[in-house]
Amino acid sequence: MNGVNTANELTFPLPALTVDLVIFTVREEQLQVLLVRRANAPFCDAWALPGGYVDIERDDDLEACARRKLKEKSGVDAPYLEQLKSYGSKGRDPRRWTATVVYFALIASDAIVLGGNQRQVAWHPIVDHGVAQALAFDHAELIADAIARLRAKLEYTHIAVHLLPEVFTLPELQRIYEIVLGAPLEKSSFRRRVSQAEMLEPLPGQRREGDGRPAQLYRFRSYRRQTFFPRSLQRHAR
Amino acid sequence: MNGVNTANELTFPLPALTVDLVIFTVREEQLQVLLVRRANAPFCDAWALPGGYVDIERDDDLEACARRKLKEKSGVDAPYLEQLKSYGSKGRDPRRWTATVVYFALIASDAIVLGGNQRQVAWHPIVDHGVAQALAFDHAELIADAIARLRAKLEYTHIAVHLLPEVFTLPELQRIYEIVLGAPLEKSSFRRRVSQAEMLEPLPGQRREGDGRPAQLYRFRSYRRQTFFPRSLQRHAR
DNA sequence: GAAATAGTGTCTATCAGACATTATGGC
DNA sequence: GCCATAATGTCTGATAGACACTATTTC
């Protein structure tokens, strides 16, 4: 009934399994996503998310597979990486029934070391809910979902710090939020949230300049836990 | 490089792909999860989540696969169904590299038609973050993650209505929340949220009893959109 | 000192928790 | 009338938005 015979051999055809990555960064005042140009059919020459088949020899688990592919494409070792969702259907790859587990990563633009050929691997700016080009497979949908998740999480967590280098100022952090959300934020509200969460550690004495008064430098203190902001249904005390 | 030859045949071994279901209901004043007893090795006779291999002949996509398995085990056609997360690694199934896409479902206990043998398919109460028994594979972890997601979503959405039959009273709905969250809720706060969200439609005239004053009957109005409660970082108006 | 940007303080609106109060049924 | 439960109202505290104000730098 479960399609497995006594010798533990599968008696039915398997779908293919891939891992795809939606790698975000903020460059040139824009949210951008890393795409690779396909060299083979189907969708040859179209842009697509970096990713590929799970290699059961090399990859111990799904996340290791995602990290391997991330390292191959972006050169980044330990970014923020979060599983987004899985997509699988008969038709999304014309060759065969394929499922993909999508991860999204946030990296600082200064941490990126792209492989040589910009025709093959390049950053593409996000406009609204996707990129300007038509993409291979269902990758436009995957990107739209990833953007929605990223924007939603910005509103109740601190993950945007992962889009900045280790040391940054509060105006820089606020700018990241505004670029990703596509809307200006109230300065004092923003700063209140950040300070109340106690996630940032001021780097004493140091400063940096824009054009007026320099801003205090900070470092993200705690990668251990994500901060979630309150105001939801709370447990009743008594 | 991508392991596919020109005839579009894969030249490397594939991992297996399954879909597993965490089916929740509230019965006998407890949050319960549906488990099936395994009839084959590995973990023969152990309890496990309902699920199984994706059948690329029958299943058009992952969600269809989940709905098919849900219908097979619980008899329920159109419950609340949401993709939770995917798990895949070399070791989680001793037979081979296996990935599973986990869905969680919420169904009303009165909608359930279990197949005959209770020794094979049965409800198990949730205590804290899991069930009392040891489970097959990594299913205890999958259940713990599903419980965490369910509890988190209760605090900012209305999905708990899917744990009740179509017609219910507000005290019944509140009781569901309290059972799942494991803590009492403040009545007036609870009712304010529910009414502000305008998700419930009073069924006029009708009532039902406990022991004192009868409660108004309601029906869940809108399956179209989930209600999310406010108080998070908001866009700046100007 | 003017301009520009960083950073703080104050007021208000909104909403959740606490808890009292009223409403409606059975007995 | 009494009890039990349903439903509502009021007060308080916490926090986000708005916006004014102060602080610190360059020129």
C-alpha B142/C-alpha B130 separation (Å) is 9
pLDDT at B74: 79
Do A233 and B233 lie within an 8 Å CB cutoff? no
Mutate to test the interface with B, among A97, A155, A174 (most CBs of B within 10 A): A97
Nearest CA in chain A to B42: A8
Higher local confidence (pLDDT), A234 or B70: B70
B residues 219-238 lying closer than 8 A (beta carbon) to A = 229-236, 238
Do A62 and B95 lie within an 8 Å CB cutoff? no
Q: Which DSSP state fits A57?
A: T
C-alpha A73/C-alpha A25 separation (Å) is 14
Do A235 and B181 lie within an 8 Å CB cutoff? yes
Query: Separation of CA A238 and C1' C7 in angstroms?
Result: 40
> In sequence order, which residues have a C-beta less than 8 Å from that of residue B41 and are 6 or more positions away?
none
Do B88 and A238 lie within an 8 Å CB cutoff? no
Closest Cα partner for A233 from B179, B132, B130, B184?
A: B184
Closest Cα partner for A172 from A157, A161, A183?
A: A161
Q: Which nucleotide is nearest to A186 (CA to C1')?
A: D17
pLDDT at B73: 82
Under 8 Å between Cβ of B48 and B40: no
User: Band of the pLDDT at A238, cuts 50, 70, 90?
Assistant: very low
Point out which residues pair with B24 in neighbouring strands.
B33, B106
Pairing label, strands B98-106, B16-27:
parallel
User: Band of the pLDDT at A85, cuts 50, 70, 90?
Assistant: very high
Residue A68: both structure tokens together:
């391997």
Task: Report whether pLDDT(A96) > 80.
Answer: yes
User: Band of the pLDDT at A227, cuts 50, 70, 90?
Assistant: low
Under 8 Å between Cβ of A111 and A71: no
C-alpha A164/C-alpha B42 separation (Å) is 47
pLDDT tens for chain B, 238 residues long, are 444 444 467 889 999 999 999 999 999 999 999 999 999 989 999 999 999 999 999 999 999 999 999 998 878 887 899 999 999 999 999 999 999 999 999 999 888 777 666 678 999 999 989 999 999 999 999 999 999 999 988 888 889 999 999 999 999 999 999 999 998 999 999 999 888 888 899 988 667 766 889 999 999 987 555 666 654 445 454 3
| Nearest CB to B17 within list A2, A15, A189 | A15
Residue B103, CA distances (Å) to A8, B28, B54, B86 in order: 26, 24, 13, 9
pLDDT at B113: 73
Would you call B2 an interface residue with chain A, using a CB distance cutoff of 8 Å? yes
Is the omega angle on the peptide bond into residue A15 within 30 degrees of 0, that is, cis?
A: no
| Nearest CB to A186 within list B52, B99, B236 | B236
pLDDT at B1: 41
Nearest CA in chain A to B15: A56
Mean pLDDT of chain A: 87
Pairing label, strands A98-106, A16-27:
parallel
pLDDT at A233: 47
Nearest CA in chain A to B3: A53
Residue A193: both structure tokens together:
């949230």
pLDDT at A62: 98
**Is the minimum distance from the CB of A171 to strand C below 7 Å?**
yes
pLDDT at B226: 61
Do B86 and A83 lie within an 8 Å CB cutoff? yes
C-alpha A96/C-alpha A94 separation (Å) is 6
Task: Report the range of poorest mean pLDDT among A12-26, A140-154, A155-169, B103-117.
Answer: B103-117
Is the omega angle on the peptide bond into residue B50 within 30 degrees of 0, that is, cis?
A: no
Point out which residues pair with B99 in neighbouring strands.
B17, B88
Task: Report whether pLDDT(A3) > 50.
Answer: no
pTM: 0.90
Distance from A177 to chain B by nearest Cα, in Å?
10
| Nearest CB to A235 within list B16, B90, B183 | B183
pLDDT at A226: 60
Residue A24 identity (one-letter amino acid):
F
